[in-house]
């Protein structure tokens, strides 16, 4: 039996949800169209890219600690209506209905489900790591046919810390060690895949894990950190699979080489 020393052993793969497994942009568009119809407002396609740009700015402020999620929900559509040049003032129901509809949609990224299924077949333990609401993320992953492929869903709501706080990753690692009955699993044996440089990649770098920056649908978010040599970059899930196959190996597959 020989071991391929050119590959790094991975004991778990941690994957973000929005803009990584699920296409948040498409989910948001569907929810926006719903809420406009509900409020009897005329929907215009030019509203969509404006929403993506302004929403990205708000989430950047959240990741910088400048505003909270509650504050985002209070101001998001006041900003949008101004940018959309809609004279009506959005009421509190507008955000509530948008959020409800947003969490009812699950548009998978192309080939994401197929790659997850392949990774499970190759004995990679899969986990979700998300700052999104626990109930909503589980519901959407279930609709996308993905939930059953994951051993555990780690959310900031349940762990008590948000990415990129290293304590989020440390708490998740404690659970992985319990799941796999192995207290020796270390951060360098974890692969993190996510779209947010600040939340996913900076968090994984501080934690000491491997990472793949998933960069699909990032054209509306100009607030990303310059590239880092240690971070792999992928623009679709086929590239993710190729990178994992060429760079990493699961514990079981490694023992069989």
Mean pLDDT, rounded, for 135-151? 95
Mean predicted confidence (pLDDT) in 221-241: 83
Q: What are phi and psi of 76, to 5 degrees?
A: -55, -55
**Residue 132 exposure: Cα atoms within 13 Å on the Cβ side:** 24
What percent of the chain has a predicted confidence (pLDDT) above 90?
76
pLDDT digits (tens, 9 = 90+) for 35-61: 999 999 999 999 999 999 999 889 888
pLDDT in tens, 67-124: 988 999 999 999 999 999 998 888 889 999 999 999 889 999 999 999 999 999 999 9
Residue 182: count other Cβ atoms within 10 Å of its Cβ: 12
Q: Long-range pairs for 71-80 at CB < 8 Å and ≥24 separation?
A: 73/99, 79/54, 80/47, 80/50, 80/51, 80/54
Query: What confidence score (pLDDT) does residue 3 get?
Result: 44
Predicted local distance difference test score (pLDDT) of residue 95: 95
pLDDT at 60: 82
The per-residue pLDDT for 2 is 39
pLDDT(181) > 60: yes
pLDDT of the residue at 6: 80
Reported confidence tier of residue 65, pLDDT bands at 50, 70, 90:
confident
Domain limits, CATH 1.10.150, in the chain: 25-102
For residue 255, the model assigns a pLDDT of 44
What local confidence, expressed as pLDDT, does residue 239 receive?
97
In angstroms, the Cα distances linking 54 to 81, 223, 236 are 11, 12, 24
pLDDT above 60: residue 222 = no
Task: Write the pLDDT tens digit of every residue in 1-12.
Answer: 334 458 899 999
CATH fold of the domain at 25-102: DNA polymerase; domain 1 (1.10.150)
Domain with CATH 3.40.50.1000 in the chain: 8-22+106-255
pLDDT band at 250 (very low <50, low <70, confident <90, very high): confident
With contact defined as beta carbons under 8 Å apart, do 60 and 81 qualify? no
CATH domain 8-22+106-255 topology = Rossmann fold (3.40.50)
**Higher-scoring residue by pLDDT: 102, 223:** 102
DSSP label of 236 = S
């Amino acid at each position: 039996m020989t071991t391929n020393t050119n590959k790094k052993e991975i004991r778990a793969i941690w994957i973000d949800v929005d803009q990584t497994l699920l296409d948040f942009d498409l989910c948001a568009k569907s929810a926006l169209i719903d809420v406009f119809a509900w409020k009897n407002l005329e929907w215009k396609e030019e509203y969509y890219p404006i929403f993506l740009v302004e929403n990205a700015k708000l989430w950047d402020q959240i990741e910088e600690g400048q505003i909270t999620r509650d504050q985002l929900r209070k101001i998001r559509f006041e900003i949008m209506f101004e940018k959309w040049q809609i004279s009506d003032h959005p009421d509190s129901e507008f955000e509530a209905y948008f959020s409800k509809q947003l969490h009812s949609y699950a548009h998978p990224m192309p080939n994401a489900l197929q790659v997850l299924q392949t990774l499970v077949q190759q004995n990679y333990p899969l986990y979700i790591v998300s700052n999104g609401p626990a109930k909503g993320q589980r519901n959407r992953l279930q609709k996308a046919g993905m939930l059953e492929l994951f051993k555990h869903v780690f959310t900031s709501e349940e762990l008590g810390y948000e990415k990129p706080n290293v304590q989020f990753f440390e708490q998740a690692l404690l659970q992985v060690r319990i799941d796999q009955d192995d207290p020796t699993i270390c951060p360098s044996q974890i692969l993190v895949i996510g779209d947010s440089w600040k939340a996913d990649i900076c968090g994984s770098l501080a934690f000491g894990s491997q990472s793949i920056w998933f960069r699909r649908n990032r054209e509306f978010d100009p607030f990303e950190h310059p590239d880092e040599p240690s971070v792999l970059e992928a623009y679709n899930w086929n590239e993710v699979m190729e990178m994992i196959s060429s760079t990493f190996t699961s514990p079981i597959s490694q023992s069989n080489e």
